[in-house]
Structure 1
Amino acid sequence: MNDTLDLLLAIGLPTLAVLGTAVALVARRRSSGPTLPSAPADTAPAPTGTAPAPTGTTPGSTATLPEDVLAPDAGVAEAPPTPAPTLEVPEPVVGRMARLRGRLARSGSPLGARLLAVLSRDHLSEDDWDELEETLLLADVGAGPTGELIDALRRQVRVDGVREPAAVRALLREQLITLVDPALDRTLATAPGLGEDGLHRPAVVLVVGVNGTGKTTTVGKLARVLVADGRTVVLGAADTFRAAAADQLETWGARVGVPTVRSDRDGADPAAVAFDAVRSGRETGADVVLVDTAGRLQNKAGLMDELGKITRVITREAPLTEVLLVLDATTGQNGLNQARVFAEVAGVTGIVLTKLDGTAKGGIVIAVQRELGVPVKLIGLGEGPDDLAPFDAADFVDGLLGD
């Protein structure tokens, strides 16, 4: 009996121990929750070279979905098309000078009024003639033209005995128009032509002058004159030394739909920019290329080298048809000194006089023509975009005399 009991204990105790261990393991698993499955296979990195990069945006990524694969309900609104800029229509060229003539008469210039007041006196003494001469010199007419005008007036007054205001004005007008010289050719050479190869060549106008004369603004206004006259224009921003010059010129051109060729960096070679502008004008069939140049006047040698290079490079693509010198009328005789240097260096063919509305020195027109032997072709009498007009001798004199 005892032997049987010992046998049962020997077998049962180990069995109970095994069962207890199993129960404990089950209980422990239930208290810790179910085991999570492993990560899906598609989140593992793809083998190199076996799959394209994902197109969706992931956390921390800057990539975005292409517009053509966005879902219709993605909430991304299509951007509206950018409207084309409204182009300005420049004022017609015909009649501009007549409008500006009135502005010149109202600008406060005392030249015409003083001359008429003296000539209308009953008896002209030597002091009166001295006063006339002084008035003309102060108006920058110049010594030579002043002497000629005084001599002509003395002769007419003595012979004809002119005293009536209307007759005095007619006499003075006639003499001033003679000095301004209406016989000078003031047309702008802006007609395109054909090269020796029979291909299109635009007219090329080089604009020169010192800084501060309104040179770049004048180029922009001249573009408007040409557009109003039915010409197609390309602008060349070859003033690469003044940071704002190209931006300023581009703004002027954009207002009337005229393209601007410019460099993408300051200090670029001006001749290279000018060449690109002329080539662009030739390839696009433009009528005129206007090239704005730097206004530096440090020394004659440097200016000669730079303008000479620009001219040589330009003429490889098209002939240079005009060289316009922009002068500030308020500078008087100083402007003449600048003009002499540019005339020697650049072969000036015409003058653009700016800021005549703010000066009593309208006689600079006579002096600069006499000094340089080239005509004033354009005149500026205001800050408006269309306040630039082809010069007319009779209209200009009438403005000086207050007509």
Structure 2
Amino acid sequence: MGFWAKLKEKLTKKTNQVDQDEPILQQDEQTEEPVEQIKEEQKLDPVKKSEKKDQVVKQENKEEKKVKKTKTSETETKKQAKETLKEKKKREKQKEKDKKVEKAMLKSAFSFSKDIKKLSKKYKQADDEFFEELEDVLIQTDMGMKMVLKVSNLVRKKTKKDTSFENIKDALVEALYQAYTDNDWTNKKYKIDFKENRLNIFMLVGVNGTGKTTSLAKMANYYAELGYKVLIAAADTFRAGATQQLEEWIKTRLNNKVDLIKANKLNADPASVVFDAIKKAKEEKYDLLLIDTAGRLQNKTNLMAELEKMNKIIQQVEKNAPHEVLLVIDATTGQNGVIQAEEFSKVADVSGIILTKMDSTSKGGIGLAIKELLNIPIKMIGVGEKVDDLLAFDIDQYIVHLSSGFMQGDDSEN
């Protein structure tokens, strides 16, 4: 089994687990005589009658226990059925999410697969000229020169013994995966650092226009839907309309499922908003505090001062917080997004990327570029305009959907 097949199998197990048959509880086989039969067979002999009476009482007690056991079994069956239904809904929701990611990746996958297929027709085996053209194709995905060379070198190593194009394609998929994950099959370190039984504090940063405030609202919905208590701190006091945008989202799109702390005036000190939010979150036992911040990267000095002040206030309450500093980047901006990531990483300890508008780009490699250049992984992706279109990033999904066009032998486009 090749690498792509293994990766697809892994993804399938996560999103399409085999339904387990509901347990069928069988009645115990009846080995004793029925109570009525025993009664009918009673004799007039007093001794026998007494023996039969004792037998009847014992049998009645036994059947009473059996009835109780049956009722308990029925309760357990209903409970198991309820849990099975819950699991089924979870699986269906996961499949739904996977379809959304697949749809969002269509433009990138189509463009990438089309170029790889052209190479497969032009070259039957890998040589230096082939690798030059492969690197050109990879550059077109916006994954950045550093990642391109890393992937190209990995493919070269993996195809030394077998230079057939079938092996090259599989090696390319493995190289992309390996380059992003450093060969970590579990991907645990790329997940959002959300933990039970603590106040999780996440800060979102990013330039205006990337969808930062919208992503924050969607993220609030993501966790509220899971049953967590969520509070938003509207600490972008610089942009007129930022707080109103959040208020509108909470009222019309989130059905007031989350709460908001805001400043009483424009250009108020963002740190004071964060202070009030943390106080409320601790007192009222919230699970998650999401902090919106100003997106004026052009004035780095002021932004850095703001972020440092907010961090100090946060760390007075939670030493290891913020638990996530998530940079929101528009996937359609290409290499400009990489520049934003570089600049923001200078003023904030960015722990992850939220990549928005993945459904609107044919160049889905920007996340790979940022990961390679700055070692900042993608944590979530925006795949549409709906409130539930912000999803946890899954590298398995990403690689499978990006490469499925040329790995599954779809020759509909050349």
**What TM-score, normalized by structure 1, do the two folds share?**
0.70
Look up the match of 1:349. 351
**Structure 2 counterparts to residues 186-265 of structure 1, below 5 A:** 186-191=190-195, 193=197, 202-254=199-251, 255-256=254-255, 257-265=257-265
Alpha-carbon deviations, 1:70-118, whole Å to 9, x = none? xxxxxxxxxxxxxxxxxxxx99974465123321342254123312431
Look up the match of 1:39. none
Single out whichever of 90-99 and 175-184 deviates more from structure 2.
90-99
User: For residues 300 and 193 of structure 2, what CA distance do their matches in structure 1 show?
Assistant: 27
User: For residues 262 and 93 of structure 1, what CA distance do their matches in structure 2 show?
Assistant: 33
The DSSP-based 3-state class of the residue aligned with 2:172 is helix
The DSSP-based 3-state class of the residue aligned with 2:323 is strand
Name the % identity.
Answer: 36
User: For residues 357 and 226 of structure 1, what CA distance do their matches in structure 2 show?
Assistant: 22
Look up the match of 1:267. 267
Look up the match of 1:305. 305
Residue pair 1:348, 1:374 contacting (<8 A) in 2 also? yes
Look up the match of 1:358. 360
CA deviation after TM superposition for structure 1 residue 192, in Å:
5.4
User: For residues 353 and 236 of structure 2, what CA distance do their matches in structure 1 show?
Assistant: 19
Alpha-carbon deviations, 1:27-85, whole Å to 9, x = none? xxxxxxxxxxxxxxxxxxxxxxxxxxxxxxxxxxxxxxxxxxxxxxxxxxxxxxxxxxx
**Structure 2 counterparts to residues 4-403 of structure 1, below 5 A:** 94-95=94-95, 97-107=97-107, 109=109, 110-119=111-120, 121-124=123-126, 126-164=128-166, 167-181=167-181, 183=184, 184=187, 185-191=189-195, 193=197, 202-254=199-251, 255-256=254-255, 257-318=257-318, 319-402=321-404
User: For residues 258 and 343 of structure 2, what CA distance do their matches in structure 1 show?
Assistant: 31
Residue pair 2:233, 2:289 contacting (<8 A) in 1 also? yes
Residue pair 1:191, 1:288 contacting (<8 A) in 2 also? no
Single out whichever of 168-177 and 215-224 deviates more from structure 2.
168-177
User: For residues 172 and 97 of structure 2, what CA distance do their matches in structure 1 show?
Assistant: 21
The DSSP-based 3-state class of the residue aligned with 1:191 is coil
CA deviation after TM superposition for structure 1 residue 330, in Å:
1.6
Letter in 1 for 2:301: A
Letter in 1 for 2:141: A
User: For residues 394 and 116 of structure 1, what CA distance do their matches in structure 2 show?
Assistant: 22
Alpha-carbon deviations, 1:309-341, whole Å to 9, x = none? 111122333332111111111222221121122
Aligned pair count reads: 305
User: For residues 268 and 389 of structure 2, what CA distance do their matches in structure 1 show?
Assistant: 32
User: For residues 164 and 250 of structure 2, what CA distance do their matches in structure 1 show?
Assistant: 52
Compute the RMSD of aligned alpha carbons.
2.4
1:112 to 1:228, Cα distance in 2 relative to 1, 3 A: farther
CA deviation after TM superposition for structure 1 residue 351, in Å:
1.0
Alpha-carbon deviations, 1:352-374, whole Å to 9, x = none? 11112111221111110112212
Give 5+ residue unaligned stretches, structure 1. 1-89, 194-200
Residue pair 1:207, 1:291 contacting (<8 A) in 2 also? yes
Alpha-carbon deviations, 1:243-278, whole Å to 9, x = none? 211111123233241011112321111111111112
Give 5+ residue unaligned stretches, structure 2. 1-89, 406-414
User: For residues 91 and 122 of structure 1, what CA distance do their matches in structure 2 show?
Assistant: 41
User: For residues 275 and 96 of structure 2, what CA distance do their matches in structure 1 show?
Assistant: 33
Give the structure with the higher percent helix.
Answer: 2
